[in-house]
């Protein structure tokens, strides 16, 4: 019982202690991570036009998730280090209190992802990044994108008026392998509990595999008009434009 109590106390301390204020976007350690994964950040001419360079707030919709969306995480670090403005990463609330995993956010700002938070951050002029396929993206195959029926972001963009930037990340699903549940039980339980429950392995167990990672930015998707209650036709149209942008980003930069 003493060992169990010590383990519980240690876990609570690691989960709840205040995080240091220091950010490591341009540290030597960050450069080492770029090199370990041979990370590449690829974009269209929107960057040259200044639309991604802090001139306006936007929301990045990146896929696929994989076990750990390393390319997406590095894209947030890169944005804060080399672009104007501020990028905030949206994650599941539990990640902010998961021992060790929460230390990833020493490299940049992160907050729980919800419609109200995205609206607040973009209204403040901050850019926001999410992994658009969420929990479903953990359980998909290596080349699948579980986004076709997830239209909440398109609705939110029409309500708040912020542009969307489609991003396709190559390599996320190569960093770790996930144990596929043929019956979909783990995926269903994860969705109900809003906590990802799965088995995974990488290089020498929990260590991430060294592989090439690419974050490929597509052209900005801008809502033509905004309203508090957009109709389904407008939502579907913007969602299809986002899906096309993700596909185009892959085709343009592959």
* Residue 67 pLDDT > 90: no
Structure tokens at 163: 């542009």
Half-sphere exposure of 118 (CA within 13 A, CB side): 27
User: What is the band of 135 on the pLDDT scale with cuts at 50, 70, 90?
Assistant: confident
**Cis bond before residue 64 (omega within 30° of 0):** yes
pLDDT value for 55: 66
The residue ranking higher by pLDDT, 38 or 48, is: 38
Assign 64 a pLDDT band (cuts: 50, 70, 90).
confident
The per-residue pLDDT for 157 is: 93
Mean predicted lDDT score pLDDT of the chain = 85
202/208 Cα distance (integer angstroms): 5
Comparing 36-50, 69-83, 120-134, the range with the smallest average pLDDT is 36-50
Q: What secondary structure does DSSP assign to 146-180, as a single string?
A: TTTT--HHHHHHHHH---EEEEEEESHHHH-EE--
Model confidence at 197: pLDDT above 80: no
pLDDT surpasses 90 at 117: yes
Helix/strand number for the chain, H first, E second: 9, 9
Measured CA to CA, the distance from residue 123 to residue 101 in angstroms comes to: 28
Helix (H, G, I), strand (E, B) or coil at 203: strand
Which range among 129-138, 161-170, 208-217 shows the weakest confidence by mean pLDDT? 129-138
Report the candidate in 111, 177, 169 with the shortest Cα–Cα distance to residue 138: 177
């Amino acid at each position: 019982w003493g060992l169990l109590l010590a383990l519980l106390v240690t876990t609570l301390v690691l989960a709840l202690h205040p995080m240091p204020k220091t950010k490591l976007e341009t540290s030597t350690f960050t450069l080492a991570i770029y090199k370990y994964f041979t990370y590449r950040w690829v974009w269209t001419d929107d960057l040259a036009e200044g639309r991604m360079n802090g001139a306006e707030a936007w929301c990045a919709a990146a896929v696929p998730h994989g076990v750990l969306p390393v390319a997406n995480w590095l894209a947030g670090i890169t944005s804060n280090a080399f672009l104007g403005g501020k990028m905030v990463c949206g994650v599941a609330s539990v990640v902010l209190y998961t021992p060790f995993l929460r230390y990833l956010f020493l490299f940049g700002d992160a907050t729980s992802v919800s419609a109200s938070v995205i609206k607040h951050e973009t209204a403040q002029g901050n850019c926001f990044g999410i992994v658009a396929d969420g929990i479903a993206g953990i359980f998909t195959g290596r080349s699948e994108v579980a986004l076709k029926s997830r239209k909440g972001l398109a609705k939110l963009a029409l309500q708040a008026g912020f542009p969307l930037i489609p991003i396709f990340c190559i390599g996320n699903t190569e960093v770790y392998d996930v144990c596929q549940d043929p019956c979909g039980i783990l995926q269903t339980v994860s969705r109900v509990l809003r906590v990802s429950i799965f088995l995974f392995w990488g290089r020498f167990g929990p260590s991430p595999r060294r592989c090439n990672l690419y974050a490929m930015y597509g052209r900005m998707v801008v809502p033509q008009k905004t309203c508090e209650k957009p109709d389904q036709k407008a939502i579907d149209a913007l969602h299809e434009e986002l899906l096309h942008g993700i596909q185009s980003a892959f085709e343009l930069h592959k």
